[in-house]
Structure 1
Amino acid sequence: MKLTTEIFEKTSRWIKRNARPLESALWSYHFEDNNADGVIKCIQAFQNEDGGFGHGIEPDFWSPHSSPMASWAAGQILRDIEAKPELNVVRKLVNYLEYTYIEEKKLWPSVMPSNNAYPHAPWWHWSENIQENWSYNPSAELAALLLHWSLGGGSTNEKGWETIKNAVAYLMEEDEMDRHEINNFQQLIKLMSKQETEFNSRINCTLKHTAEKVNSLAYKAAGKKKADWGLGYTAMPLDFVEYPEEPLSMKFGNLIDDNLDFYIEQISNEGIWDISWSWGQFENEFQIARNHWKGILAVKRYKILHAFGRLNV
């Protein structure tokens, strides 16, 4: 089963009419002109003077203030377009990560008190000891991004390696994990693949063994029944796989094809997908966030469909 040219064109029109300029630029980058300039211009609108990101770049919390989590969302996009460390927006982000690092905890805070003053989903509400619920989401990935983009070495690099060492030790003790935190560790593995020798010399676990542990947790976390997919926060196999050549793709086997079929079956007449969660509060703002997420989901899922040869375009 492939997604038709007609549906692809409907999605393209919906994105350009209704999505944020950021997702529209990402759509153009991936499926039209491969030009990153438009994405960079859009993402800079979410960056503050301190180098961090806010302003609802992650649509489920609308605080304009910089936060590590919003900066993580920006970092994912910058990596997606293969942004270089010399780029101004990247250098400012690296500086922000340097000075917001909590030395005594060897991580970045996941939820900020400022969230509470603006529309947000309940899981982004700050309270005392909230960090215990988040562990290394997003710090595991932020540390890898810091190493990936750092030009200075020295103390900047050490912050990254300290966090990764602690994060991997934590990972190895876990029997199950939230899918978002698994995604953080998956991206850590991909980013560290270019620094595997140093990883193996610094961390009390090889990168290969770390990847095997992450894949094991991902396989366990994914729903194996198609009837459960698309319900709430139930994870699907394709929440953990981006390309067919990944080892985890082979481990999931036929479930990957089933999930690709599910994406195609569930697409609306407009060429998009709705989200499966709600805030239960700030209803007017949630409807705006919901629309933003539709654009994000469309770009993400089309990238996967393209990687697996499911676009008939």
Structure 2
Amino acid sequence: MDVLHRAHGYLLTHARLLDRLRFEALFAGGPRDRVLDTLRCYQNPDGGFGHALEPDLRGAASQPEPVEIAFWILDELDAFADPMVRSACDYLLSVTTPDGGVPFCLPTVREAPRAPWWETPDDPPGNLIPTASIAGLLHKHGIDHPWRGPATDFCWRSISAVDKTTPYEARAIVTFLDLVDDEERARSEFQRLKDAILATVTFDPEAPGDAHFPLDFAPSPLRFPLFTEDVLARHLDALLAAQSEEGGWNGNWPMWTPVVEHEWGGYLTMGRLRTLQAYGRLPT
């Protein structure tokens, strides 16, 4: 059986409705409106997203990170004209810190079960995670909202202050520099930070644990290449080989409660398929 057929079987037996509909829309000619209608159920009246759209955040309350996840889904559907986008930006504006960024997470995270790494002080500062990725996606799709300008300024200031970084922050920086409008400035910062970013990458595709591989940083080709073609080819081969007997992929971090293994499995399986598609590794 081919990669898509096996993945479809995995999604049917493990994944959320949202991710099953994403597969149908992107790989089986299904309606995209059904994906949007389902995604809308995760959006709160304040414009933010919750309800475990980010599986490790089990609460209903809006948080910044689920907005990023929603925006990646809207991106793959080329649906940034949907009213969900401006409503979400209104929400982001309501939780933005004085420096223009949104926090990694808000104190409302304490109201419901969540993975142990989702912790925050009472007055959390703005953070490149997820401000940079969200701002980058708004630039990509030409969405001019009052939140975008201050958030973009926050990202430039924060990135300019980076010397050493961490894998998740590096991934957010790469996304912003890949998508932001000012290509010349982005190229300059990319060249300055390239070695620091590469220092956070795990190049051994067999490495265990919470490793961050080249395709996590470049799930589709980047405008400023970060990896050689040989490195990408090796990791694409490894990604294909890592498809489970059931047909899916899952995360390499702790699955702290049974439901998140299924929810992450569906979301990540769709992400892996999109990466294979972006690099021409799916059957035509």
Q: TM-score, normalised by structure 2?
A: 0.88
Question: Is this contact kept in 1: 2:101–2:151, CA < 8 A?
Answer: yes
2:48 equivalent in structure 1 = 52
Q: What is the CA-CA distance between 1:130 and the residue it aligns to?
A: 5.5
Q: 1:38 aligns with which of 14, 34, 41?
A: 34
Q: Distance in 2 between matches of 1:188 and 1:245?
A: 11
* Residue 234 (structure 1) aligned to one of 211, 214, 239: 211
Tell me which residue corresponds to 2:272.
Answer: 301
Q: Contact between 1:219 and 1:252, CA under 8 Å: does it hold in 2?
A: no
Q: How far apart, in 1, do the equivalents of 2:260 and 2:57 lie?
A: 9
Map of 1:65 onto structure 2: 61
| CA-to-aligned-CA distance 1:67-124 (integer Å, 9 cap, x gap) | 1122222122112211133x2222211221222222x232112212221221211111
1:141 maps to 2:136: no
1:104-157 CA-to-partner distances (Å, cap 9, x unmatched) read 2321122122212212111112334664xx831111223344555645x6xx1x
- The reply to whether residue 11 of structure 1 matches residue 3 of structure 2 is no
Q: Which amino acid letter does the alignment assign opposite residue 26 of structure 2? A: H
Q: C-alpha separation between the residues in 2 aligned to 1:22 and 1:189?
A: 29
Distance 2:143 2:55 in 1: 27
Tell me how large the CA RMSD over aligned residues is: 2.5
Q: Hey, what does 1:203 align to over in structure 2?
A: none
- 2:243 pairs with 1:243: no
The amino acid that maps onto 2:280 is G
* C-alpha distance in 2 between matches for 1:58 and 1:122: 14
**Which of residues 161, 164, 168 is equivalent to 1:176?**
164
Segments of structure 1 that go 5 or more residues without pairing to the other structure are 201-205
Percent of residue pairs bearing the same amino acid type: 23
Q: 1:245 to 1:275 in 2, by over 3 A?
A: closer
- Greater Rg over alpha carbons, structure: 1
My pick for the range that moved more, 62-71 or 207-216, is 207-216
The TM-score, its normalising length taken from structure 1, stands at 0.81
What letter is aligned with 1:182? A
Query: Take 2:192 and 2:119, find their aligned partners in 1: how far apart are those partners?
Result: 31
In the aligned structure 2, how far is the partner of 1:269 from the partner of 1:122? 30
Q: Which of 182, 193, 207 is equivalent to 2:186?
A: 207
Indicate conservation of the 8 Å contact 1:94/1:150, yes or no. no
**Superimposed CA distance per residue, residues 6-59 of structure 1 (whole angstroms, 9 cap, x where no aligned partner):** x43121122123211111121122212164212101110100111110001000
Stretch deviating more after TM superposition (301-310 or 19-28): 301-310
- SS of the equivalent of 1:269 reads coil
Given that residues 94 and 149 in structure 1 are in contact (C-alpha distance below 8 angstroms), is that contact kept between their aligned partners in structure 2? no
Cα distance in 1 for residues equivalent to 2:111 and 2:34: 31
Q: What SS does structure 2 have at the residue aligned with 1:183?
A: helix
Residue 166 to residue 127, structure 1, CA distance change in 2 (3 Å): closer
Residue 191 of structure 1 corresponds to which residue in structure 2?
Answer: 179
1:238-282 residue CA offsets vs partner (Å, 9 max, x unmatched): 111133575425x33322122112112222111112322215xxx
Contact 2:102 2:127 (8 Å CA) reproduced: no
1:258 maps onto 2:234 in alignment: yes
Q: 1:261 and 1:150 mapped to 2: Cα distance?
A: 36
In the TM superposition, residue 182 of structure 1 has moved relative to its aligned partner by 2.2
Q: Give me the whole-angstrom Cα distance separating, in 1, the residues matched to 2:218 and 2:244.
A: 23
